[in-house]
Structure 1
Amino acid sequence: MNIERIHVWDCVARFKQGVYTNSRCQKSTTRSRVFQILGTGGWKGFGEVVFPFALAPYLEEELIQAEGIFFSELIGKNVDHLMGRAEAFRTQEAHWSSVAFAFETAWYDLQGKQQNATISSILHGKRSHRVTPYISISVSDQRELREQLRAKTKYEKIIQLKLTNQSWADDLAWIHQILDHHPPVELLLADANGKWSVSEACGMISRFQDPRIIWEEPCATYSENAQVEQMTRQRVMADQCVGSMGIAEQAVREKAVSAITIKPAYLGGLSTSRYLLDRCAERGVRVRVDGPWCGGIGAAAVLHLAAGVESELLIASCNLQAPLETLAMPGGVVEFPDGKLSPPEGPGLGLKDESLDERFGVPQAIYST
């Protein structure tokens, strides 16, 4: 199959709660680039360039300005060139990994549709299962935290709490609020977003001996986080500090932290993430599979990866569309009454074969012969 046309849209989604806050930045919107590849025979494949949450605007524009080159080069080529270009993007600066992820997503979508198979079955060679999600909470004060907890259901048992990293008193109070007053919680991911020094992290973590806590990214680097786990003997999860394949593989090989996150949009695609999952399974390193907040295409791709991971290995995944107003986007996540998630049923991403032109209107750019 050859690529005949590519349609591209700019997609900006607002956060439902107004502003989403973590220790690195505050944002009211997220941005992605959605594209539709039309191949010979009428086949359609979808991709979404998911910009990292804290990516500088000038770097977003750098990727957008380069579209005219890398999309034009694909016209008339076999769809397998998508995977070749993804490999090339992974050799560039880190923010190009999001483009590699989008290209691989489109390739897997097309392959799944041609084979009448889901992306999950192509990746894992077996039937996917439903995934336990985590719920991410970002608040500015304890009153807001109480309100959010009241809205949670008995099925929401894994909570990620974005810590302020500004007031230890607030962070302590918020952690106790969840552990002491929210009975359904089975696991709390206390996320410092890499803002603590090793000594600060050890000082905070030593105040707790609750086995329900995993301390997510207390420090900025993998080596610091490994040191914190060694010193405190409490579970640490490495997140964005293992955002490159080299460091992620080192973390798995050394097994110096209890868990890592696998983010296909940062690691350069589904194939590289699948490779890393295999290494985690061999070493017994537990994982969380997710990524930056995004639309339905990116969310579905990530869930297809998560849905084939053995439950003993997978801590959780999440609905990456959940905090966003994404009415125009295809629904990339299926939520069940028991709170579990799965990607949509159907070949490829499971987003059927609808034309994105009908959802988004006139494309911002069209590339064709």
Structure 2
Amino acid sequence: MRITSIDVHGLRLTNADGAFALSGDRVLDGADSTLVRIATDAGIEGWGETCPLTGAYLPAFTGGIRAAIAELAPALLGADPRNLAEVTARLDGTLLGQAAAKAALDVACWDLLGRAAGLPAATLLGGIVRDDLPLYEAIPIGDPERTAARVAAALARGVRRFQLKVGGDPRRDVATVARVAEQAGDGALLIVDANGGWRLDDALIAARGLADLPVHLEQPCATLEACARVQRASGLPMIYDEVVVDAPSLVAAVRDGGASVVNLKLSKVGGLTRLRALRDLAAGLGVRVMVEDSWGGDVASAAIAHAAASAPAGALLATTFVNDATREHVAGHQPRSHAGRGSVPRGPGLGLDVSTDLLGAPLARYR
């Protein structure tokens, strides 16, 4: 089997619940997703997707991703997509970095591998360890009243895991989290995520206020060193996200940062091949993982589901289906959450039937 062509499609995704606010005055009300379709001489196709949250979240933006794919895609022509080692070597031999662009191409090759084998990608990623996936719902920065209202609506739908965005005034953030903790009750998972938005002094103030609450603290500051100081001062279980991009940074987060959990995103690390390696490394080091992506639609959510379903036993803290936040769906809103839970598609590859009706003609074609 050889790759004969790669199509690149664009899709504007809009937020189903309106504007979503992060620390640092970053606001998401929509984003341009990039989808790739890889065709082969065997008549089998595979899909991948990458979508930056905003250009100010991680070092990736739509124009840069598509420019990188223009360099990477020709290097994959003629390759066997089932040989992920060859795919990775060709990608890395063409461009250093560019994880978000590589992620879409890598995921499409995993989709092809599964379709060729007649197996779900999760089976090939380590086996389906769990079909019932614990999903969290992200709650944007807001005042206590607005946050409480969103949490109440989610609780009514059966959601019991929340990622609460913070990173503004630390005392107000603590008050908001305390209210949600009381609201959610025993057994709820509460992740307090600043997305690296606090300076060290504000993070320490917040951490002291959160110390007696049943929460995980995620990436309070921009650097590993600052987050480690907050962890040591508070004793809170710490989730590292933005600073974990490869094996050395993951080991440093555990060894130097006191990580309890690492958050692995497909577009941050370069796709399923590298996410699987980091996921299993984390499990071997005794820390749990969150598996997700920055943003995206049905294709990104399916890739997340396969990586989460095949995580080693006991290693998965939580995951999320990013397509729950979007209005646009290219595969019938599959996978789809229900009452805060999800399952992995059981068809071969990613297990999706992607329609091009929303996508239209390709932005570019490489053959």
Both proteins in one fold, TM over 0.5? yes
Q: CA RMSD in A?
A: 2.4
Q: Aligned partners of 2:122 and 2:247: how far apart in 1?
A: 21
| Cα offset, 1:285, TM superposition | 0.8
Q: Aligned partners of 2:87 and 2:213: how far apart in 1?
A: 44
Please say if residues 37 and 106 of structure 1, whose CA atoms lie closer than 8 Å, have aligned partners that are also in contact: yes
Aligned to 2:9: 9
Amino acid in structure 2 at the alignment position of 1:344: P
Q: Aligned partners of 1:174 and 1:286: how far apart in 2?
A: 26
**What pairs with 1:103-118 in structure 2 (closer than 5 Å)?**
103-118=105-120
SS at match of 1:152: helix
TM-score (norm 1): 0.89
Aligned to 1:29: 30
Aligned to 2:161: 158
Aligned to 2:361: 362
Comparing 316-325 and 269-278, the one that deviates more: 269-278
Aligned to 2:176: 174
**What pairs with 1:213-224 in structure 2 (closer than 5 Å)?**
213-224=215-226
Deviations 1:239-297 (A, max 9, x none): 11213442123223456222111112111121222112222222211111112111111
**What pairs with 1:48-63 in structure 2 (closer than 5 Å)?**
48-55=49-56, 59-63=61-65
Deviations 1:3-51 (A, max 9, x none): 2222221111111222111003112112221111111121011111333
Aligned to 2:46: 45
Please say if residues 156 and 185 of structure 1, whose CA atoms lie closer than 8 Å, have aligned partners that are also in contact: no
> Is it true that 1:140 corresponds to 2:145 in the alignment?
no
2:96 is matched with which residue: 92, 96, 113? Answer: 92
Give 5+ residue unaligned stretches, structure 2. none
Please say if residues 140 and 165 of structure 2, whose CA atoms lie closer than 8 Å, have aligned partners that are also in contact: yes
Amino acid in structure 2 at the alignment position of 1:162: K
Please say if residues 255 and 283 of structure 1, whose CA atoms lie closer than 8 Å, have aligned partners that are also in contact: no
Please say if residues 7 and 365 of structure 1, whose CA atoms lie closer than 8 Å, have aligned partners that are also in contact: yes
Q: Aligned partners of 1:68 and 1:235: how far apart in 2?
A: 41
Change (3 A) 1:193 1:62: closer
Change (3 A) 1:196 1:127: closer
Aligned to 1:194: 196
SS at match of 2:362: coil
Give 5+ residue unaligned stretches, structure 1. none
Change (3 A) 1:185 1:137: farther
Deviations 1:222-252 (A, max 9, x none): 1221221122222111111213442123223
SS at match of 1:38: strand
SS at match of 2:198: coil
Amino acid in structure 1 at the alignment position of 2:140: S
Q: How many residues are treated as equivalent by the alignment? A: 361
Amino acid in structure 1 at the alignment position of 2:37: Q
> Is it true that 1:350 corresponds to 2:356 in the alignment?
no
1:314 is matched with which residue: 313, 316, 323? Answer: 316
SS at match of 2:325: coil
SS at match of 1:31: strand
SS at match of 1:16: coil
> Is it true that 1:18 corresponds to 2:18 in the alignment?
yes
Please say if residues 30 and 53 of structure 1, whose CA atoms lie closer than 8 Å, have aligned partners that are also in contact: yes
TM-score (norm 2): 0.89
1:101 is matched with which residue: 103, 106, 120? Answer: 103
Change (3 A) 1:250 1:219: same
Q: Aligned partners of 2:366 and 2:187: how far apart in 1?
A: 49
Change (3 A) 1:33 1:320: same
